Chain A
Amino acid sequence: AQKITQTQPGMFVQEKEAVTLDCTYDTSDPSYGLFWYKQPSSGEMIFLIYQGSYDQQNATEGRYSLNFQKARKSANLVISASQLGDSAMYFCAQFSGSARQLTFGSGTQLTVLP
């Protein structure tokens, strides 16, 4: 069974600093994908970044990058130059090619301090 673990229920970061949100996954499937989503207080799910298991390089999207360490089964999200608007809940998710489920972690509440 797939399992996604986010061990940081809450994180604080000063504006303009970088922050890393942790995510570990567990799958025996060689083909899988990892996602990060942002959920602001308004409730919608906003896609941030995707990493495929066969991708050679870490994914980047603007201020977001995914630190993919396959051997450690970790897929941490790095947000550079934090902004006040980054305050939200962040979810890591895994898609398994064989199970075809899309499974989410419990989330990390990020608060950016002015």
Chain B
Amino acid sequence: NAGVTQTPKFRVLKTGQSMTLLCAQDMNHEYMYWYRQDPGMGLRLIHYSVGEGTTAKGEVPDGYNVSRLKKQNFLLGLESAAPSQTSVYFCASRHPPTGTEAFFGQGTRLTVV
């Protein structure tokens, strides 16, 4: 049982390049979330999805886009990477209303130079 898997684990981008982070969960969870964590800080919500085909903006959505074409996958895209997007990105999933735990991926460390 893999749980939540993030791909890739590490990435270095040049300013202006684009990339997509993949989050895959095998628990049939409805809700999925993307966060960023900057050094010494908490997790800030970028975008989230409450079901296949739906997405919504979180606290810090600018510069990011997301898609949830399949229930098990939640993609986070950076169209034109900026150094300010250097961060650790976490994906999480949860199954309401009975879910008492949000499951996290292992994180993706992204550096934009």
For the complex formed, measure the closest distance between the CB of A96 and the CB atoms of chain B, giving whole angstroms: 11
Instruction: State A44–B5 Cα separation when bound (angstroms).
Output: 12
| B48 near A101: Cβ-Cβ < 8 Å | yes
Question: How many interface residues does A have (CB within 8 Å)?
Answer: 22
Interface residue range, chain B: 20 to 34
Closest to A92 in B: B42
| A102 near B42: Cβ-Cβ < 8 Å | no
Chain B residues near A40 (CB-CB < 8 A): none
Chain B residues near A45 (CB-CB < 8 A): 90, 92, 104
Asked if A102 meets B45 with Cβ closer than 8 Å, knowing A43-B107, A47-B101, the reply is yes
Contact of A102 among B94, B97, B100 (CB under 8 A): B94
| A106 near B41: Cβ-Cβ < 8 Å | yes
Chain A residues near B102 (CB-CB < 8 A): 35, 47, 93, 95, 102
Contact of B101 among A50, A91, A106 (CB under 8 A): A50
| A107 near B42: Cβ-Cβ < 8 Å | yes
Chain A residues near B50 (CB-CB < 8 A): 100
Closest to B43 in A: A104
For the complex formed, measure the closest distance between the CB of A56 and the CB atoms of chain B, giving whole angstroms: 15
Asked if A102 meets B107 with Cβ closer than 8 Å, knowing A91-B43, A107-B41, the reply is no
Closest to A43 in B: B107
Asked if A100 meets B96 with Cβ closer than 8 Å, knowing A35-B102, A107-B42, the reply is yes
Chain B residues near A105 (CB-CB < 8 A): 42
Per-position binary interface string of chain B over residues 24-53, scored 1 when its CB falls under 8 Å from any chain A CB and 0 otherwise: 000000010101000001111100101000
Chain A residues near B94 (CB-CB < 8 A): 95, 102
Given contact pairs A44-B106, A107-B42, enumerate 10 new A-B contacts (beta carbons under 8 Å).
A33-B100, A43-B88, A45-B90, A45-B92, A93-B43, A102-B31, A102-B33, A102-B45, A104-B42, A104-B45
